[in-house]
């Protein structure tokens, strides 16, 4: 055997060993429970979607998939923990715009991670549009009635959000700016569920909530939806008018939920998770459960497509931040 042939033979054997090792690792994964981190309290969009997915993934992966709620700093506490986690596929995160695309743009000093460099994109899951709601006890039955109240009571008006510089505050401030540079005092809560509780109690004049967090209260009559920040009608609230059709251009905003993990995850583990998540959201029963919760699933996407989507979202929120200026921090 010549020297070249010997080297080629050793390389071939090495490649075969690596292939067998990777295949064995994929076949073995997972060997223990998997944790999905959520950056908000139970009841919000990310939490609802994570629990529906966890139930399905526990069955298909053959190991328990548990939810770890880590609220704080608009999702940044969980995102920072996810970025520092061991990249072995046992600690992943169902992220939202607040943790991934908003906080790093608005509060980079608090979001101690790079959204585009410190994570592994895994799969697109779904999205839920924002809906402007008021307590049922308030007299506002149309968006114009709320606008008139805000113009007349600017120094007294207030609104709730799911957290400082989160997507609900982004949505509210974008609405206020586009409706005539209106103003209202921002009152942040620790997640979508506490925000909705404040609206139910009538503690605030309005809120721009993620539909998934608000749908049960809308159906129960505790809050009244005035407008939807979506490009088209949504089945769960088909009769609610769209903000853009009420004269407020470029106000479409959705809260997406996308699975990510720490940078450096093994490609075969990412591929396995991507396959199982895509299978879940393509299951009509799972898709309907998510839709009932106000979450519309995405078409199946590869990890690369997921990463490209996330990059576009970061750029979009940078543009919104430039437009809104200090509205999110004053």
Q: How many residues does the chain have?
A: 330
Residue 95 contacts by C-beta under 8 Å, 6 or more apart in sequence? 39, 46, 75, 79, 82, 119, 257, 258, 259, 260
Q: In sequence order, what DSSP letters do the residues of 139-185 get, joined into one string?
A: S--SHHHHHHHHHH-TTT-EEEESSTTSHHHHHHHHHHHHTTS---E
Cis peptide before 30 (omega within 30 of 0): yes
d(CA 172, CA 288): 28
d(CA 220, CA 224): 10
d(CA 19, CA 12): 11
- Residue 10's pLDDT is 57
- pLDDT tens, residue by residue, 149-200: 999 998 899 999 988 778 899 999 999 999 999 999 999 998 788 999 999 9
Domains of the chain listed by start with CATH number: 32-126+255-326 (3.40.190.150), 129-253 (3.40.190.10)
Q: Is 248 helix (H, G, I), strand (E, B) or coil?
A: coil
* Opening angle at CA 186, ends 183 and 192, nearest 5: 130
- Under the banding of pLDDT at 50, 70 and 90, the label for residue 2 is low
**pTM for the whole structure:** 0.81
- pLDDT tens, residue by residue, 235-289: 889 899 999 999 998 888 889 999 999 999 999 999 999 999 999 999 999 999 9
d(CA 118, CA 261): 9
Answer for the pair 318, 105: CB distance below 8 angstroms, yes or no: yes
């Amino acid at each position: 055997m010549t020297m070249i042939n010997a080297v080629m033979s050793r390389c071939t054997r090495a490649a075969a060993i690596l292939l067998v090792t990777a295949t064995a690792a994929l076949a073995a994964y997972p060997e223990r429970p998997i944790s999905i981190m959520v950056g908000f309290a139970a009841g919000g969009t990310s939490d609802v979607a994570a629990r529906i997915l966890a139930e399905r993934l526990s069955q298909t992966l053959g190991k328990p998939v548990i939810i770890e709620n880590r609220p704080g700093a608009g999702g940044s506490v969980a995102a920072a923990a996810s970025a520092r986690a061991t990249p072995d596929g046992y600690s992943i995160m169902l992220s939202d715009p607040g943790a991934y695309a908003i906080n790093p743009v608005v509060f980079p000093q608090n979001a101690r991670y790079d959204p585009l460099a410190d994570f592994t994109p895994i799969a697109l899951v779904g999205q839920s549009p924002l809906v402007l709601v008021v307590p049922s006890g308030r007299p506002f039955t149309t968006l114009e009635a709320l606008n008139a109240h805000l113009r007349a009571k600017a120094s007294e008006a207030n609104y709730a959000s799911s957290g400082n510089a989160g997507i609900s505050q982004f949505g509210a401030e974008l609405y206020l700016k586009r409706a005539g540079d209106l103003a209202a005092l921002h009152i942040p809560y620790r997640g979508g569920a506490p925000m909705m509780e404040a609206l139910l109690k009538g503690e605030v004049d309005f809120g721009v909530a993620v539909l998934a967090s608000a749908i049960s209260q809308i159906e129960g009559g505790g809050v009244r939806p005035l407008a939807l920040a979506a490009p088209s009608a949504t089945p769960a609230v088909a009769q609610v008018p769209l903000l853009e059709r009420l004269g407020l251009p470029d106000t479409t905003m959705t809260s997406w939920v996308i699975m990510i993990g720490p940078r450096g995850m093994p490609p075969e583990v990412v591929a396995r998770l991507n396959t199982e998540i895509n299978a879940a959201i393509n299951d009509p029963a799972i898709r309907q459960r998510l839709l009932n919760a106000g979450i519309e699933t995405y078409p199946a996407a590869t990890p690369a497509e997921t990463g490209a989507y996330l990059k576009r979202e970061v750029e979009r929120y940078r543009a919104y931040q430039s437009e809104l200026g200090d509205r999110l921090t004053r």
